[in-house]
Each structure stands twice: as structure tokens, then as C-alpha cells.
Amino acid sequence: MVYRGVLFDLDGTLLDTLEDLAGAVNRLLAERGYPTHSVDSYRYFVGNGPLMLITRALPETARQQEIISACLEAFRADYRKTWQVHTRLYPGVAEMLDGLSSRRLQLAILSNKPHDFTLTCVDKMLNQWNFSVVLGLRDSVPAKPDPAGALEVSHAVGIPPEEFLYLGDTSVDMKTAVAAGMHPVGVLWGFRSPEELQQSGARMLLERPQEIFQLLG
């Protein structure tokens, strides 16, 4: 198969955002007298958007709609101010993007972060590279693992889904790729385990970003 496009997840795939996400949520939890969590715990809280992040972080006894909504608002206000404290590109990602760009592949991003904030993150951290399409979570399109966003990317750049590699670090990403008919590639430098990625449909696992070039020949 000749691949002409690469669709990336954002958090856990291109950007290591875990510490800043954990910090913002832990601050709101502490302010409200709820237990906080280790940074590592947040590997399993993220992946399905901010609403699920807050819901998972709250104690089960505090998961009423009004509490979740208030905490979500507080999280968004804090995270918009603090998201760039520790967030960095993963080692090797810049070189991977340079290499893919030199091969003239179409690059795109699909995230479950809110759309406007996804654009901000890409503009601040990934502006050296040209991404044909950058999409975050929007009210009009179902969140991943629904394939709608991935298929929208495919249509926008005029490349069939089967000619896309889809790189992600969670079961959400692998399920999205499978449902969209893209080639699911799990990355092991992100938030989840190889077992989760394989069980969710990953057809290849990458330990380092540069290994993607093995798929391109």
C-alpha cells in the first residue's frame, strides 16, 4: 500500500500534555476538597474530551451534573492559562514531521480537545509544519472514536481513507482508525499500553517516531 496522508492524534501522540492537564484538574479538585490524583493516573482519564476527563477525575459521589459543569468551567479557565508550562513535543516528533513533510505527505490532526483550543495548541507548538487540516471537538461532529472527523479529513484533502496512516496512543484512536478504514498505528511513547492498542485494532506499534518511515518504504 502506498500511503499519501498521515492523520495524527494530538495529546499523547505529538504533544506530551499530561503534566499540565493533571495540574489543572488537581488544582480544581483540591480547591473543592476532593482527592487529587497522581500524574500517571491521568493517562487513563484523558482521551475522550474534557467532559469525560473531569467526570473520571471526580469521586463517584460527586458526579452530579451541576458539579461536573462547574468543575469543567474551572478546568477550562485554569488550563487555558497553564497548558504550556510543561507541554512539549515528544522526542523525535520534530524529526518525524520534517521527514514526512520532505516526502510531501499530507499531514492532518484530529483531536478530542475542543476545536478552538486544538487550533491554539497547534499554532503555538507545531507551527513549523504545514497541516492540511486541524480538527478538534465540535458540537456538530461526534467525538472520536466515531469516524466522522477522520472521514472529514479524508474528504477535505482528497485522499481515500485507506491511503492514510492514523497515529494515536489510545484505544479511542485505534477504534477511530478502524472505523474510518485507515491504517491504525499505535504509538508507545504516549499515554496507554501496547496491549490496549493491539486489542483496539493497532496493526503496528511504534516505539520511536522515526519508525514510521518503515511503513513508507
Q: How far is CA 92 from CA 29, 154, 175, 210, in A?
A: 34, 26, 25, 7
Distance CA 45, CA 172 (A): 12
Q: What is the DSSP letter of 44?
A: G
Active site residue 16: no
Distance CA 3, CA 1 (A): 6
What residue type is 65 in one-letter code?
Answer: Q
Q: By C-alpha distance, which of 35, 38, 8 is closest to 144?
A: 8
Please check whether residue 156 is in contact with residue 107, taking contact to mean a CB–CB distance below 8 angstroms.
no
Catalytic, out of 9, 11, 20, 173: 9
Bridge partners for 183 per DSSP: 165
Cell of 71: 468543575
Q: By C-alpha distance, which of 56, 38, 37, 34 is closest to 46?
A: 56
Residue whose grid cell is 476532593: 34
Distance CA 58, CA 6 (A): 35
Catalytically active residues are 9
